[in-house]
Amino acid sequence: MTAYDADIHSFLLFLATKKKSLQDVTTKTIHTFFEQCRSRQISHRSNARRVSALKSFFSYLHGRNLISVNPFNNITSPKSALSLPKGLSIEQVNRLLCPPPITTPLLQRNYAMLQLLYSTGLRVTELVTLAVGSCNLTSCFIRVLGKGEKERLIPFGVPAKEAIVTYLDSSRPLILKGRRSNTLFVTNRGKGMTRLRFWQIIKEAARAAGIAEEVSPHSLRHSFATHLLSHGADLRSVQMMLGHSDITTTQIYTHVDEGRLKSIHKKFHPRG
């Protein structure tokens, strides 16, 4: 059963307990259902999904003349609160980006991917599908085709450049074994990597670095953004590098920890 089916099924069970038919559903019925959902501590995000599923379901019923009135016409989908992604400290990033003690072609590839991910804040899909020609090692820019087919240029630093050059010169040819590929980071099959495989790689690297926290590709994307902002980068520039269409999405990265807030308050407040 899909989440969509489960959402509709839960509403139908609710109607059965109230001995109501689909024709009996009113705005009050809907509000009562979601009050019950909240009392059962169902998350805000799940309830937002349920509204969306039920709106589609009742629109379908009304379109087929199975109900005379669509009670969801005046129900608005709640906006999900933006969740704050978890990032890594600079010390943790430094541990994660230490060169592997034993270098193999695949480990060098993984190291180059991690370096580039932290240096550019790429989405994992953008990273694993990156073309060789999109990486300019002379100017240290990559050209990325992101969400909505929007192209953007992102600079990267010297550590990422050096890791990519080493990978291209000595590791990538050994992985390809004479095969050809337009994808920058290739697997033993001579093809691009899946998102799932890179998730596994970053988790393995985090464990090897002794990082206890859960680490994902987005952890490095988040760290890229927060570390830039904490060192004085402007929000608009970070928005462009991340490829966000709305700057409010970028603003979730502007949080500061409580310790830094206290130190700022103590330093600058006249009665700190």
Catalytic residues: 123, 147, 218, 221, 244, 253
Contact (CB, 8 A) for 200 and 207: no
Strand partners, 192: 186
Rounded Cα distance between 244 and 252, Å, is: 12
How many other CB atoms are found less than 10 A from the CB of residue 42?
14
Contact (CB, 8 A) for 127 and 116: yes
How many other CB atoms are found less than 10 A from the CB of residue 220?
28
CA angle, corner 206, sides to 106 and 175, nearest 5? 5
Rounded Cα distance between 143 and 163, Å, is: 18
